[in-house]
Amino acid sequence: MTDINKEAISVLNDLIETCKDGQEGFKTCAEDIKNPELKNLFIQRSADCASAAAELQATVRSLGGDPETSTSVSGNLHRRWVDVKSMFTGKDEEAVLNEAERGEDHAKKAYKKALDKINEDNLVSIRDTVERQYHGVQRNHDQVKALRNQARARS
């Protein structure tokens, strides 16, 4: 396996963890929210994250690597913190959307870091996939932020 492939696999495995974190995070949001439209949105976003992770895993395999299969430690800690916090503050719509936006902030940073690494190391074989997924993360973030702002305005 070439050094370029090793670098690409490393970048992709980091993003797989990010996608798995998003999948679990959105699943938790769906469980915590009562609004049926938001529940469906979070279920769909969880499925989107699972699809993104599967696409990245297939790319890792095509490069000769072993794809990541789990969430990150920091993502697990964040979900536990949200669970503890919600015991005290409740699981109102704005609070759930705040945590969803925080997760999407993390995903945006992870994808931006990956794109910087791809450009720095000229990892052209994975650039298109990562850029396309980054734009999806950006859309998710913007939508969650807008919904959070709407919930904040209602309260």
Question: Domains (ranges, CATH) in the chain?
Answer: 3-154 (1.20.1260.10)
pLDDT of residue 154: 87
- The whole-number pLDDT of residue 71 equals 67
Q: What pLDDT does 32 receive?
A: 83
| pLDDT of 18 higher than 60 | yes
Give the pLDDT confidence score for residue 62 in this predicted structure. 95
pTM attached to this predicted model = 0.88
Q: What are phi and psi of 52, to 5 degrees?
A: -65, -45
The 10s digit of each residue's pLDDT in 38-83 is: 999 999 999 999 999 999 999 999 999 999 987 665 655 555 555 5
Kindly tell me if the per-residue pLDDT of 14 is higher than 90.
Answer: yes
Q: How confident is the model at residue 89 (pLDDT cuts 50, 70, 90)?
A: low
- How far is residue 57's CA from residue 13's CA, in Å, rounded to a whole number? 8
Question: What value, to the nearest 5°, has the Cα angle with vertex 119 and ends 113 and 121?
Answer: 100
Average pLDDT over residues 101-117: 94
Between the CA atoms of 62, 67, 71 and 73, what dihedral angle is there, to the nearest 10 degrees?
-130
Mean predicted confidence (pLDDT) in 142-146:
95
Which range among 8-22, 71-85, 100-114, 139-153 shows the weakest confidence by mean pLDDT?
71-85
**Token pair of 107 as six digits:** 């995903």
63: which residues sit within 8 A by CB, 6+ positions away? 1, 5, 8, 9, 12, 125
Burial class (CB in 10 A: 0-12, 13-18, 19+), 81: exposed
Q: What is the mean pLDDT of residues 134-153?
A: 94
pLDDT for position 26 = 92
Distance CA 85, CA 105 (A): 19
